[in-house]
Structure 1
Amino acid sequence: MIELYVSALMTFFVVIDPPGCAPIYAGLSAGASSANRRAMAIRAVLVAACILLVFALFGEALLRALGISLASFRIAGGIMLFLIALEMVFEKRTQRREDRAAKVADDPEAEDVSIFPMAMPMIAGPGSIASVMLLMGRNEGWERSLVILGALATILLLTLAALLAAGPIMRFLGAKIEAVITRLLGVLLAALAVQFVIDGLQVGLR
């Protein structure tokens, strides 16, 4: 169970990337009061948690209703995560996030950034949705499911802490250290993505 928790924790950490969300949120909420920044951070994490929980509990049933096998979803999810890993290694993901954040910041009507872009797609994006469905699908039993949800809850709390402390974190880390961490996490995510594809192929070929 500990091994499963650590594996799920690392997967969610790499995909959701709390340190990567912090600078984007710091830039988007720069003009807001401290109370408003705190409220938006809490709202963003709660909304993302609800989205991920729905897909964790009912995602497999949704796939069955659409006639999609779990093996096919594992392969597709693995490919998607691998593409995200490539973006992280070559810093394209950070640039894409910053471009998206800049568009929201330029919109005078988009004052509350908690739902978009923070909750979705930055926290509960395609990668994190695919990850939670894949992990829940390959680990049957309520005990293992609770371990995965516990790992997800841990990362969401860490994400909330990162958003609340976005300003100090950015001053402490600096752009260069953040870039190094992002690249290392990208390599780990690439390996996890390949494993998802291998699992899907093994199940599909049985």
Structure 2
Amino acid sequence: MNEFLQAFVSLLAITNPIVAAPLFLGIVVGMPANAKRRAASHAGFAVFAILAGSALGGRHILELFGISLDAFRTAGGLVIILVGLEMLRGSPSGIQQDEASPEDPRDRIFVPFAMPLVAGPGAITTAITLSVTYPSRLYLPVIALLASIACALVLWLTLRLALVRQRLATPRVERIFTRFMGLILVAIGFQIGMLGIRDFFKLGGA
């Protein structure tokens, strides 16, 4: 349970649903109410597919390129730290920014909203890092997969609430939540990175 909570908080911090909610509202503006609700479901499913795919296939990708799990854990922890430091400054991470934006609002739900604004390189790296940090006995990254499901559900609920109460995600709430989650993300990134360094140099136990 502790490992699941850590994985869930890591993904939740880097996807940052409260910050994503105003972006979603801007994309779906002018759409019928039922279309907005469908768009929220599509966004949640797209984010889940991206994170789950990264978690399930991450280990095989590393093996393909000959990268050790400990080296990737260390690098992944560094990426998480950098994203968290940018969030501590009160703004979404630059690693998640994308200037390209298709014209069709329905297309924008998937690109750039789902990827890379929510499940961008930072979130993908986090999912892969978690999958190799907490491998299950069944040789599938179950903890990272469950965390991806929970993160997608939180995003979906946040978007639905934002549609009902569009004043929920105020600029002040955004700033406070972004900085708080940035601090959590930095701490988690340090822990994952130090574990990778420890195991890479064989300085500690399993």
TM range (shorter): 0.7 to 0.9
Aligned AA (1:137): V
Which one of the candidate residues 92, 111, 116 is aligned to 1:116? 111
Q: What's the RMSD between the two structures over aligned residues?
A: 2.4
Give 5+ residue unaligned stretches, structure 1.
Answer: none
Q: What SS is found at the alignment partner of 1:172?
A: coil
CA deviations 1:27-78 (Å, max 9, x no partner) are 1211222122222222222122222222211211111111222222112211
Give the paired residue count.
Answer: 200
**Tell me, what secondary structure is at the counterpart of 1:68?**
coil
Task: Name the CA shift for 1:193/1:27 in 2 (closer, same or farther; >3 Å).
Answer: same
> Structure 1 length normalisation: TM-score?
0.86
Aligned to 1:152: 148
Quick one: percent identity of the two aligned structures?
Answer: 26
Are 1:4 and 1:148, in contact at CA under 8 Å, matched by a contact in 2?
Answer: no
Give the Å deviation of 1:192. 0.9
Verify the 8 A CA contact 2:76 2:129 in the aligned structure 1: yes
Kindly provide the amino acid, as one letter, of the partner of residue 195 in structure 1. Q
Contact 2:86 2:94 in 1 (8 A): no
Matched, 1:204 2:168: no
Distance 1:201 1:170 in 2: 44
Matched ranges for 1:112-191 at <5 A = 112=106, 113-142=108-137, 145-191=141-187
Does residue 1:34 correspond to 2:33, yes or no? yes
RCO higher in 1 or 2 (8 Å CA, sep ≥ 6)?
1
Runs of 4+ with deviation above 3 angstroms: 94-97, 142-145, 167-170
Deviations 1:111-142 (A, max 9, x none): 22111112211232112211221122122324
Cα 1:38–1:188, aligned 2, differ >3 Å: closer, same or farther? same
Task: Point out the more displaced range, 178-187 or 160-169.
Answer: 160-169
Larger helix fraction of residues: 1
How many Å separate the matches in 1 of 2:6 and 2:76? Answer: 17
Q: Secondary structure at the match of 2:30?
A: coil
- Structure 2 unmatched runs, 5+: none
Give TM-score, length-normalised by structure 2.
0.86
Cα deviation code 1:75-100 (max 9, x no counterpart): 22112111211221112317887x75
Q: Partner of 2:168: helix, strand, or coil?
A: helix
